[in-house]
Amino acid sequence: MESGKSRLKTEVRQHLTEHIIPFWQGMADRENGGFYGYLGYDLKLDKKAVKGCILNSRILWFFSNAYLALGEESLLESAGHAFRFLRDYCLDREYGGVYWSLDHKGQPEDDTKHTYNQAFAIYALSSYYDASGEEEVLEIARDLYRAVEENCKDGCGAANGYREAFTRDFRPAENDKLSENGVMAEKTMNTLLHVFEAYTEFYRVTKDGDIADRLREMLDIMADKIYNPGLGRQEVFFDRFWNPLIDLYSYGHDIETAWLADRGLEILDDAAYTERLAPITEAITEHIFRRAYTDHSLVNEAENGVVDTTRVWWVQAEAVVGFLNGYQKHPEKQEYLAAAEDIWGYIREHLIDKRPGSEWYAGLDKDRNPIEKPIVDPWKCPYHNGRMCLEVMRRLGG
């Protein structure tokens, strides 16, 4: 009889190759470049929808890593299609950086510069460089890295990290794009996490000592400013000086951080930082398991003690990877492996949209009914669920 781990690996690989990859290859815009930006819940494709640069970067990251895992040339071609759109349209040749979004023909629709957006472009380009070996790709990533370091670092010093929202010419602006829950945050856990994620991948392919130093700075902020040891969680929204603005548990971001931080520590290979941060990632994983894992899935968040029971698509994907990571660090914690397998079962049975021409629902209510949100939009992409598949395969051997 096939073991649970073997079944998880087999099913996830099959879902990746037979469902996620064909769906996203079918979203390529062969006329105007890039990928279509919107597919409604009704499965009606809007070919003239805005094309978010984050969406394109995440697609570039996905196909680059799918190629590295599977070796199929069609995947490298799809990655190249995404890269050419980023290079030719998403980059601002005058002020540097990446635009927020473009119209369907590739003209700037929102020329805001956001640190989060720059990070995802660096993340994607690092992976595409690994896949393609093209030096041009690495040079663009270096240019974006310099743009972030020169324009987005907070002048209060290394311990204060990055400011987030800017005008086209990198003058500070309100952070409305990454603020939620009724607050206007100058800094967010979410943006710092994804700068860390991007720089992890950039460091992996360059081994540049300056990038390693930036990773250490961000790990210090995670440990000293963002992590709340009394509650075993990360705070989410902050003022400029890392004072929390709201009582919020963001369960998906917590479990995502646990494994992304561990991945960064693995790539950085600094024993002192591993010793310092590993207990934090372990505590976060344990708290998520005890607080948010219920009914075979993770609830979304809890604000002021009120739990949002929505099952959000990306939260479930990150939970599979996060619990598998927790199990691999501590194989005696069989409950983590069981949770990863259980949540995958929930995804397989309820969250994957079985309608032809679709992918995953954006979310489910507590009764497992689909929430009528788009199948593709500027935030709904193959980054979380595709990465879940690739991480399961990588961790379980194929």
pTM: 0.97
Mean pLDDT of the chain: 97
Average pLDDT for 311-319: 98
How sure is the predictor about 109, in pLDDT bands with cuts at 50, 70 and 90?
very high
- Nearest CA to 321 out of 253, 259, 261 is that of 259
How sure is the predictor about 4, in pLDDT bands with cuts at 50, 70 and 90?
confident
Distance CA 202, CA 192 (A): 15
The length of the chain is: 398
The total of structural domains in the chain comes to 1
The pLDDT of residue 1: 42
Convert the pLDDT of each residue in 187-244 to its tens digit.
999 999 999 999 999 999 999 999 999 999 999 999 999 999 999 999 999 999 999 9
How sure is the predictor about 158, in pLDDT bands with cuts at 50, 70 and 90?
low
Concatenating the DSSP letter of every residue in 69-137 gives HH--HHHHHHHHHHHHHIIIIIB-TTT-SB-SEE-TTS-EEE--EEHHHHHHHHHHHHHHHHHH--HHH
- Can you give the CATH number for the domain in which 62 is found? 1.50.10.10
Convert the pLDDT of each residue in 162-189 to its tens digit.
999 999 999 999 999 999 899 999 999 9
Average pLDDT for 136-144: 98
Q: Is the model's pLDDT at 159 over the cut of 90? A: no
Convert the pLDDT of each residue in 262-314 to its tens digit.
999 999 999 999 999 999 999 999 999 999 999 999 999 999 999 999 999 99
Concatenating the DSSP letter of every residue in 223-235 gives IIIIEETTTTEE-
Distance of CA 80 to the CA centre of its chain: 20
Domain around 127: 4-396
Beta bridge partners of 244: 238
Average pLDDT for 327-343: 97
